[in-house]
Structure 1
Amino acid sequence: MLKRMRIALVALLVMVTSLSAAAAERVDSLPAVKAQSSGRSELLMQINSEPLMVAKVEQENPNRAYMVIRPVGLLSDTDLVEMVLYDGTLYSRTGIDTQWYIEATGLPEAMPIEDLPETPTGDVPVTHMGAMPIAGAPTDQYQIWLNSDAAGTSYLKFDLWVGVEANYLHQMQLGMYSNDPDFGALSLEVVQRSYDFDSSIKVYAPANAIEREVDYGLVGVSYATPEANLLLAPFTTNAARTWLADKR
């Protein structure tokens, strides 16, 4: 009986290994991706596997979107941030404050949304990792490696999950690793999952928004770079700087 179990386990291991090897293959092109004009998405950012923030986005169209950013983990003492982009104006409020502020005006309109055709990969190494469901939706996973040095001291990696039934981009993941001379080994990971593609979503401009009295927005980032506020906010807090300093 024990011998039969061992044979079965070996056979199962061989089968799984064979399937995994067959699933991952180098490809010459990325598949076509259907563009979405509206939808919802969730985002996670973490550094050295420790979470920094989570975010949710609702988008009516490329020029109207609502985002809520919640710092977590080592930044859990930082205020929640809400942001609204509405026809070229960026609004924000933080924590439990009910007052909305105008962060920037006259932002350029987004480019018209178009489907992305099948794209040749050229010399960029792209691997089809195989089929993988995302939140129940069947997708194909593709992995792209960039700027990976021979010594393994740094890399930049993209993973894309493209829908099978409808070729929307269901999930994308950015991974970066660097052996920084000041902070040592650092890894940054950003994962975004999208859903409710081309659904009926409405975003409204805050009714009580007022101009700020200072020259800088949420976290000391200039109005000239309002988009950067979304991603840089967690990294400009004392908690983040202290945590990075401790890694030296």
Structure 2
Amino acid sequence: MTHQLSVSMTDVIVAAKHEKLLSLQDIQNELDASQMQAWQDLVKVLTHEIMNSITPVASLAKTAVDLVADTKHKVGEKPEINSHLDDIASAVTTVARRSEGLMTFVGSYRKLTSLPEPNKISFKISEVFKQVVEIINQHSGLDKTKLSYHVEPSELKMEADRAMLEQILINLVKNAQQATYRIDQPIITLSAGLNRRGNVVIEIADNGSGIDDEIKSKIFIPFFTTKKEGSGVGLALTRQVMNAHGGTVKVTASGTGGALFSLVF
């Protein structure tokens, strides 16, 4: 993963000798936060304008459907007129349905602009993993998928917003399910541990087809999706949650050829 560094150099005198002190600072988090803020500002403008335009359309479409139904009742048994009214009702109903769909779609992006401050508490990571697995099993039915988790050390704790963490883990596991849908023996693994700097690292790995290199840098951008029914919100929200915790999220290839998402706190 490419990181942006800030480099500075200072002249110092030690024991009457001139020395140069070189400082390297990782500013990737700051750049990610700045980029996300820019996207948030854009989303606020777009959702505001779209909602202002589509809300009256949806309302008028619903009113038109009711008017057509009332007109049919008043007209009575007149096949030719009723046929035209049925065509009008069908067209207006489609407009109303698509308007509501668009409002729901646009509304999902508002999640990116209304994320609250994390309510950080201390908890065992294994407890969160267990909860996530139970939720996934209850709502999606893993069938043939092997979903497991591992924490090292087993009693490892972290301080974060537990609800936010659970949500992004659920989203990532669901993405992994979709990525392994056509695999004969799908495997999804949740793991957690400490890196060399003592940071908590949570990883979600699968044995799917992986993510092409050319789109790895785009998947965390709002609106970007490779799914027909996708909204492009899930991974963008994941990055926003990680930024709010002062952490990072990255994607690489897993040891089984699929995707490996790493959350570094």
- TM-score past 0.5 threshold: no
Taking structure 1 as the reference length, what is the TM-score of the superposition?
A: 0.24
Larger radius of gyration: 2
Which structure shows the higher helix fraction?
Answer: 2
Higher relative contact order (CA 8 A, sep 6+): 1
